A and B are shown apart, each in its own frame.
Chain A
Amino acid sequence: MNEQRKIKSNVLRKLKLLGLFCSISLVLLAQNRTVTGTVISAEDNEPLIGVTVMVKGGTIGTVTNLDGEFSITLPTDNETLIFSMVGMKTLEVNTRNRTSINVLLESDTKVLEQMVVTGYTTQKKADLTGAVSVVNVDEIKKSAENNPIKSLQGRVAGMTVSADGNPSGSASIRIRGIGTLNNNDPLLIIDGVPTKGGMHELNSNDIESIQVLKDASAASIYGSRAGNGVIIITSKQGKIGKMRVDFDAYATATSYNNPLKVLNSKEYGQAMWQAAINGGSNPNNNNIGYRFDWNYDGEDGTPVLNNMFLPKYLDADKTMYSADTDWFDEVSRTGMIQSYNLSVSNGTEKGKYFLSLGYFENEGTIKFSKFDRISARVNSDYKLLDGLLTIGENFTLNRTSEVQSPGDVLDLSLKALPMVPVHTIDGIGWGGPSKGMNDRQNPVRLITYNKDNPYQYWRTFGNAFADLEPVKDLHFRTSFGVDYGNFFKRYMQRTYKSGFLSNTVSGVNLEQSHSMKWNWTNTAAYKKSIDKHSFDVLAGMEIFRQSDISFNAYTSGENAFTVETPEYMWPGVSTGKAQVGGGKTGYSLLSYFGKANYVYDDKYLASATIRYDGSSRFGKNNRFGTFPAVSFGWRISEENFMESAKSIVSDLKLRAGWGQTGNQEIDNYATYTIFVPDYGVADPTWSIVNGTAYDITGNGSGSLPAGFRKIQSGNDDLKWETTTQTNIGIDYALFDNKLYGSAEYYVKSTKDILIRPAYLAVVGEGGDRWSNGASMENKGFEVLLGYRNATIFGLEYDVTANISGFRNKVTHLPEDVQNSYGGREGDNILGRPIGSFYGYVADGIFKTQDEVNNHVGQDGKAIGRIRYKNVYEEDGRNEINAMDQTWIGNPYPDFSYGLNINLEYRNFDLSMFFQGVQGADIVNGVKYQTDFWSVDDVNSNKGRRLLDAFHPVTNPDSDIPMLQNTNSNNEGRFSTYYVEDGSYLKVRNVQFGYTLPKSVLSKINIEKIRFYISGQNLFTIHSKNFTGVDPESPGFGYPIPMISTLGINLTF
């Protein structure tokens, strides 16, 4: 947005240049003292041209010249000068006895004059009537994040971004809660081209502005796909003026500084011994080979472990020494991010261009995981026919490549036993499980072999447009956009032996897919002002089409490849069997839309939009949907009666809007009854393949007769899902714009939610059927508050805070599935937030036999075991059973917040960003491993919390259940034991920068050099109740690293 302000000030500068000559007449020849000086912009330290400089209370005045300099002669020694300029804050300075005054003018346009892209058109922020968040692009650049959306986490009230620490930076975005039961991703509009693809595939340095359209009155111009909100992204354009070269680079170290604490070999033995002792079994009767030296202590007969021994070799073949492997250490490393970005731009009255090249590489904190991207962009436009016709294009070409770390690598690092070595004795072979251990893979082998399986993805994205202005302010615009992706991946499956796990089948799978999306948008827009009335109207149509083709080739066999190297392993040289697959799918949208804005006297604002959308995904009868919206605004501060309060209330606007948006996120062929032949080529290893081919002849091999099966029941009545949203908001700026912000309240209700509900098993195969079933409601608020000022000694500060929250509730579900989101008859998900947790209530652990005896029937109750609450007593059964489950958690926070502090002093700048959520319940799934010896897998490694488990004699105060070999109490059942408080406050980003002074730079002909250091995710404060590592990512997702960056910004 800064850039936009510059465009404006560029234009202003030109206007004021003219004014310079005109205003000479204002200057009276005077006999008194002359004061000279320079006026510069506080924003970018550039000289301001055309600033009016007047002596207060008089007629003497001048304007600044091309270098921002002025010279004025004062009638007396002690005059006050008034510096004013459109778009800048007026400043009064007392001259006293000075002869030289340098003035810093601050922008006044920050909020109000800013142009906001609101869908097929732009609007002044002052005239907005919908809920639109404008993102400060400079702020998001402070994070060493590949994905700009990810760095928006906590910066936009009402927008939730969740991501783990994976190197690509892919993230999921939710705007204003959970609106539907299907896809909740918002629509992205980049330079007018719609996409739901990942932003991490595009270069974030090319972004000029980001707007988040949150409410329906703002978003409904995108009707059919706007139900989850819309994010509008505009890429950079060349500026009229001189050529500008920008170079930015940074290098970042990322560290996995907080891995889960797990048992080492000795501690594992200790826990194993304790579990055996607790259960009264012989600890030496273990299958791994631990030998324990222990005895009962003389007086009270307490068992005491004196010593333990592991066999020298783990396996009978003597290939593996017993080790003490720290698997988290073995799979992780200090990551490294590098980013280089170069852009060149220029512009004349005839045309503008912007070119950029970028390279980003992130070697993640899990070994061998890597993401890199090379990107190039060309944006340009040219004016033809005396400026009547503008043609141009915005195009970017990106190649991304990624080695994705296997999803279970952290889980495996936890489960791999510490006594297993990474490698066998020869240092080449792989260590792996031996007798008595789990059947999990050596995670180091897994990631090492996986490093040769990257994907490559080419994405071309952009549009070409023509804009004809036959009469002033009437624009006919046509734009053709494409989003083309080409994905390729080779997956090599290699032979190995790793403990008792081995594989003699080698294979390779090639996978290629093409995804073509194009859209053609045609609009006509007209703008007019008559007296105090000003209005603009827009009408348009749009066609969108997506078509995806994919295929794969797989070949495998017993030692199918003579050499297993990435160079050799191509299908052509396989001696194994081959299989192929492939298919095509697509859908289209056709839309017509219109929009009208009306402003009276800058006070009363009104806006209306309508969109008529058709989608090929729906049956003929319900193909089209209509999505209207209206909104109103009242700029109270412009009223005459507010004149007197102007010094307090700089700006005040009330807004109200209502509108509808849609959602069509279903399968392309959702309305059809679908049968498929299923030969059974899918991988059956982990889930059932419901094949239809069968060896009915009893031959035992060869081609099989194949039938077909139903996979979906059709629904001709399927129609659009509709979200109706009402929003009221207030924008305010007080005390000369020092205190500013906004507040919103909304009610967002979605009906006819497209669901594919679970069904009664007797329906059998093909019972899946899309229907318009559920309704849901979100009510929420968003408050933004900022304060900016400067101290007398020149420290400028700007503090902004935001807070937001929502309450989600399911308001309707088809009767059949009301109880399948948890709950029971009469106490189900209706009226509760979707995704609420349903389970048992863990009521501490039994510490005495009396407590055990006094409790109701519970299979497996005993000292040291979890006591479950008899919640449902009405069943008349004095026992814990499935009826004793209840609602035990709400996954959505009470509120989320962000706090951003920016300080600038002379050439130094410091910014800090804090972000947090409060009151979210999370499931700490890791607890199955850290708190129990036998709940998940008795032969896997466990967390160190186990060492602090309850024991009636040695550790009676602990709340961690007693170790046991058999999970006799079924403590893996979902209960409050696993539900924890997910509140946190994180220091997301701290950045300290230094800009070299102009005096130095002018000598070397460089406009700007800035160095900075920054740190991300520096520390986290979380609830005491949380026992895991990171409440933001409580499971086994890619670890969120701590990030330290060194960077430079250069402008020529």
Chain B
Amino acid sequence: MKKLFKIGLIGLILIFFSACTDILNEEPTGILTTENVQNAYEGALTAAYSALGNDHYDKPLSLWPYGTVRSDDAYKGGSGEQDISTFHFFEISKNISTEFGEVDALWYQCYVSISRANSAIKAINAAENLTNKEAKIAEARFLRGHFYFLLKILFKNIPYIDETVPVADYGTISNVALSNDELWQKIADDFKYGVDHLPAKQMDRGRADKYAAAAYLAKTYLYKAYRQENSQSNEVTSINAADLNNVLTNADLVIASQYKLEYDFAFNFLPGSFENGSESIFAVQFSGDDGTKFGRVNFADLLSVPMKLGCCDFLKPSQTLVNAFRTQNGLPVFENYNTNNSGYSEQNDPRLFHTVALPGLAYKYNESLIYDVDWNRSPGTYGVYASLKENVDPTCDCFVPMVPFYANTKNRIVIRHADLLLMKAEALIELNRSAEALPIINSIRGRAKNSTDLIKYANDFIDIKLYQDGVNCNWTQDFARQALRWERRLELAMEGGRFFDLVRWGVAEQVMNEYYNTEKNRRSYYSEAKFTKNKHEYLPIPQQQIKFSKYLYKQNVGY
């Protein structure tokens, strides 16, 4: 008995020892492996598009802290200067550390998006029996171009990696491997590919078409034209005519397309059926009621909701911006426009009332919702204005509460037709063909003039006229340049591009220090603000990335 028992037991153990290594073959659950996704190029492309809306208020792809707050258009806002202090330091051009987490995160987010585009290109390339391969690749390249463009205007010197570089070599590519102009050319190449291969019209409104690529290509050439040939400075050394001509070529392509100015300026900034309108050449598509937690909402810009309606009262139009809308005989007041220390002027460009929420007037055209001083969170610090373009009427379904924040699902336009027209006008003026720019600028002003249906309550404060050479102005190149830059400012105010315009034109230092000088009497925190030439035009390369690159990356000048 005992013996049997023993033998049995030992036998059992022996069987056991040899038979159970199978248990280590764990099949992974709930994931996709490389094999699963090999031919799924469409999924990769969708993911690349999706990256357009994957952002957050402290690393916003709308670039509001960097393009608007850093310019003379807006104050940071929020509860106080320490509320996202990184943005405060950018606002006053001071204490800018190379180690700001927000800056590193934005850099990272852009490269995440670029990696999605590169993956999509690789997947499409690998796909067999695909008839419209070039068009698909062109979409992915468009997206890649977009994110490199953002990086370029923010950081100037960036490592450029496309789908041909093996991952193992990524670490060998420096941010100064390419010159300033070569980088612009790389970005232009992606959009050029789009112009050549994208269809004139996409069934899906969210996709980039030929004209989106052309518009973005024009924009790229415009930036490229203002050469910064000295790598040790950020000064504009020359303006390249060939580039400007490329701006014209591509702008004309778009002008001949289905895209045109909206009838009313306001339609660009209204939700629902107004989205993807005729002026919207390319827009980030947000959506609601789509099965995600809150909807794919515009997370970048949600902080600018006034305190009365939600949170957190960031991005406050500056008094200087409000004053810039002042008109005299229907034209801008180029000199001494910035004398009002509070409130708006008696005569203004109508776009003021579409752009800035002013105490006592309707909020987002809703006359039963009067914006007032007590909507503001810290009026003593940041004044009493709010930004309107990215916001929506809170009674709209598109206004999404997500405590403590309130977001909305309205699309964010990346390039609209008015922007493109002004780019063309700018190129013409710099090519010394100012006369041809005049009707373009007037078409923008004419539309603005007609955009009063929704702001009837402000009619008494509106006066806008077209430029008439020899009648109300002397349309020289210098005057035209001033008029163009002013027009850009008013038309595109608070849309995230002002600061980059200033840098492109090479006037950032002059404009910003003038602004600080004037505004320090209005906002005490500007008293120590000082813009340093050849430094503050660009963000520092994140120190973290310099370390990861084993010091291959070089810091930008001035930092």
- Report which A residues bind B (CB closer than 8 A): 279-281, 285-287, 316, 388, 435-439, 441, 468, 470, 476, 500-505, 522, 524, 541, 543, 545, 558, 577, 579, 583-590, 592, 614-617, 623, 668-669, 672-677, 679-685, 687-710, 714, 758-766, 815-817, 819-820, 824-825, 859-860, 881-882, 934-939, 965-970, 972-973
Across the interface, do B380 and A287 meet the contact criterion of CB distance under 8 Å? yes
Known: A470-B5, A815-B550. A696 touches B403 (CB 8 A): no
Known: A287-B377, A585-B30, A816-B171. A692 touches B50 (CB 8 A): yes
Contact of B256 with A by CB under 8 A = no
Across the interface, do A701 and B307 meet the contact criterion of CB distance under 8 Å? no
Across the interface, do A675 and B528 meet the contact criterion of CB distance under 8 Å? no
Q: Which residue of A lies closest to B203 (CB)?
A: A697
Known: A697-B206, A764-B114. A588 touches B294 (CB 8 A): no
Chain B interfacial residues counted at CB < 8 A: 120
As a 0/1 sequence over residues 521 to 551 of chain B, the CB contacts with chain A under 8 angstroms (1 = contact) are 0001100100000000000001111011111
Distance in Å: Cβ of B272 to nearest Cβ of chain A:
7
Quick one: which of A541, A579, A705 contacts B293, CB cutoff 8 A?
A579
17 contacts between A and B (CB under 8 A): A504-B401, A616-B24, A674-B32, A696-B46, A700-B285, A704-B292, A705-B46, A707-B48, A708-B44, A708-B47, A759-B548, A761-B104, A762-B115, A764-B115, A882-B99, A934-B81, A938-B80
Restricting to B1-54, which residues have a CB under 8 Å from any CB of A? 2, 5-6, 9, 13, 16-17, 20-21, 23-26, 28-34, 36-37, 40, 42-54
Quick one: which of A279, A286, A524, A696 contacts B285, CB cutoff 8 A?
A696
Across the interface, do B47 and A707 meet the contact criterion of CB distance under 8 Å? yes
Across the interface, do B528 and A688 meet the contact criterion of CB distance under 8 Å? no
Q: Which residue of A lies closest to B118 (CB)?
A: A764
As a 0/1 sequence over residues 98 to 110 of chain B, the CB contacts with chain A under 8 angstroms (1 = contact) are 1100001001110
Contact of B204 with A by CB under 8 A = yes
Quick one: which of A558, A684, A703, A859 contacts B56, CB cutoff 8 A?
A684
7 additional A-B residue pairs with CB within 8 Å, beyond A668-B26, A681-B293, A937-B82? A616-B23, A673-B33, A682-B293, A691-B53, A692-B46, A882-B99, A970-B95
Q: Which residue of A lies closest to B524 (CB)?
A: A281
Across the interface, do A760 and B50 meet the contact criterion of CB distance under 8 Å? no
Contact of B289 with A by CB under 8 A = yes
| Chain A contact surface mostly | loop
Residues of B within 8 A of A816 (CB): 171, 548, 550
Across the interface, do B292 and A438 meet the contact criterion of CB distance under 8 Å? no
- Report which B residues bind A (CB closer than 8 A): 2, 5-6, 9, 13, 16-17, 20-21, 23-26, 28-34, 36-37, 40, 42-56, 59, 79-83, 85, 89, 94-95, 97-99, 104, 107-109, 111-116, 118-119, 159, 161, 167, 170-171, 173, 204-207, 272, 275-276, 285-296, 299, 307-308, 311-312, 374, 376-381, 401-405, 409, 411, 524-525, 528, 542-545, 547-551, 559
Known: A677-B43, A759-B548. A685 touches B402 (CB 8 A): yes
Distance in Å: Cβ of A481 to nearest Cβ of chain B:
16
Q: Which residue of A lies closest to B45 (CB)?
A: A707
Residues of A within 8 A of B402 (CB): 505, 684-685
Distance in Å: Cβ of B431 to nearest Cβ of chain A:
36
A545 to B9 alpha-carbon distance, docked (Å) = 23
Residues of B within 8 A of A500 (CB): 307-308, 311
Residues of A within 8 A of B549 (CB): 760
Quick one: which of B5, B107, B551 contacts A825, CB cutoff 8 A?
B551
Q: Which residue of B lies closest to A885 (CB)?
A: B99
Distance in Å: Cβ of B17 to nearest Cβ of chain A:
6
Residues of B within 8 A of A820 (CB): 544, 547-548
Across the interface, do B275 and A698 meet the contact criterion of CB distance under 8 Å? yes
Q: Which residue of B lies closest to A712 (CB)?
A: B31
Across the interface, do A707 and B46 meet the contact criterion of CB distance under 8 Å? yes
Residues of B within 8 A of A692 (CB): 43, 46-47, 50
A522 to B525 alpha-carbon distance, docked (Å) = 73
Distance in Å: Cβ of A969 to nearest Cβ of chain B:
8
Distance in Å: Cβ of A818 to nearest Cβ of chain B:
8
Quick one: which of B118, B206, B377 contacts A696, CB cutoff 8 A?
B206
Q: Which residue of B lies closest to A710 (CB)?
A: B119
Residues of B within 8 A of A279 (CB): 524
Across the interface, do B307 and A695 meet the contact criterion of CB distance under 8 Å? no
Across the interface, do A701 and B290 meet the contact criterion of CB distance under 8 Å? yes
Q: Which residue of B lies closest to A701 (CB)?
A: B289
Across the interface, do A934 and B82 meet the contact criterion of CB distance under 8 Å? yes
A709 to B113 alpha-carbon distance, docked (Å) = 11
Across the interface, do A765 and B116 meet the contact criterion of CB distance under 8 Å? yes
Residues of A within 8 A of B26 (CB): 586-588, 616-617, 668
Across the interface, do A709 and B47 meet the contact criterion of CB distance under 8 Å? yes
Residues of B within 8 A of A623 (CB): 24
Across the interface, do B374 and A435 meet the contact criterion of CB distance under 8 Å? yes
A824 to B63 alpha-carbon distance, docked (Å) = 30
Residues of A within 8 A of B28 (CB): 668-669, 672, 674
Across the interface, do A970 and B97 meet the contact criterion of CB distance under 8 Å? yes
Across the interface, do B94 and A968 meet the contact criterion of CB distance under 8 Å? yes
A674 to B30 alpha-carbon distance, docked (Å) = 10
Distance in Å: Cβ of B397 to nearest Cβ of chain A:
9
Residues of A within 8 A of B207 (CB): 696
